[in-house]
Amino acid sequence: MTPHLAPFAESEPFLFVSGQLAFDADGGISAAGIDGQTRQIIANIAKVLRGTDLSLSDIVKTTVWLKNAADFVAFDAAYAECFGDHRPARSAVVSDLVLPAALIEIEAIARRRPMNGN
């Protein structure tokens, strides 16, 4: 069954990326740890953004749901490596997730820059 959601919705100049889980190319959550799941999710978000001519550097806000508060430090380290010097605003909460194998879910808001660069 395919969930009733779109990968993103756009309301200029913003693009809202739906919450992403660590799905791999086969549609399963193959990464067992928080580090691997965080990296897979950010790769999935980057793929959605590439399809709209945006990139991770266009993200202005993320919301993160962690299954376990104890995973925050490892999550934050992987997140920082993926984003580098770019630091979007972020909220993080602890919550149960729909899929038992999921340790984290991330949604993102990106902004299209006007042609003049402002």
Q: Where are the domains of the chain?
A: 9-111
Prediction pTM value: 0.92
CATH superfamily ID and name for 9-111: RutC-like (3.30.1330.40)
For residue 117, the model assigns a pLDDT of 57
For residue 99, the model assigns a pLDDT of 94
Best CA proximity match to 59, nearest among 73, 79, 34 = 79
Q: Which residues of the chain have pLDDT under 70?
A: 1-2, 115-118
Best CA proximity match to 108, nearest among 83, 90, 84, 94 = 90
